[in-house]
Amino acid sequence: MKKFRVEDPFWDLFPEARIGVVVCRGVDNTDPDREKYANIIASAQIEAMKYLPDPEFSQNEVVQVWREAFQQFKTKKGARSSVEALLKRAQKGNPLNPINPLVDLYNAISLWYALPCGGEDIDTFEGDLRLTLAHGDEAFVTLGTEISEPPFPGEVVYKDDAGAVCRCLNWREAVRTMLTEHTQNAFLCLEMVDGKRLDDLTDAVESLAAQVSFHLGGQCQTAILDVKNPEIEIDPSHYPKMEP
């Protein structure tokens, strides 16, 4: 059985953190209606503006909390939380182009709740998925290159037995595990490091599961992990099929 486990080195850095998880089984990620997802994202970009009351982008709390978090570990120069990039586009009024339904839905939820969100194809994982600190020798090839760029030692990463899956939390992901139109079983996650927005995280996890089920079918299992409950089964076969 595949598992997702948040390991002790992560909790040592962020003891108040929570990681929301949505495990999706049997989804159809081939919906061709790009206009529908563009509209969902556009609505979320409008909603996201409530988190940016200060016109000085870096002074907004939802930006500051992640910049402070990224100072706690080694990062590549210029690396920022995934939600910061989305919020910056919203503030500037730059539309976010649809990618594929799963990615579009988690981007919309990320904007709606101003929480970092990411997703990977469970069927591509080699062994268990872990959120931990990198050794620095993990293979990592991202979109647009064929050259491996391993994370720094001590960088916060998602990784499996084959290498890094995502660097600097949800900053940048590997091509090997990314969601595509062929994805049927997905691991989606939302991150909170300071413990102050647990209600928002809980709502975001349930909203993401509901949106995926409504638009893409399949079955979703949710969980929120903390230092006392650091792992969950993510193997799709762990969840029984839904009755027709």
Residue 177's pLDDT is 98
The predicted structure's pLDDT at residue 195: 85
CB 31 within 8 A of CB 243: no
Global pTM reads 0.94
Can you give the pLDDT at residue 241?
52
Helical segments of 97-192, H only: 101-113
CA distance 36 to 33: 6
* pLDDT value for 235: 85
Give the DSSP H or E segment for 166.
strand 163-167
Q: Which residues of the chain register pLDDT less than 70? A: 238-244
Q: In whole angstroms, give the CA distance from residue 110 to residue 191.
A: 10
- The whole-number pLDDT of residue 243 equals 41
How do residues 151-187 score in pLDDT, each as one tens digit?
999 999 999 999 999 999 999 999 999 999 999 999 9
**In the prediction, which pLDDT does 84 show?**
97
Per-residue pLDDT reduced to its tens digit, 205-215: 999 999 999 99
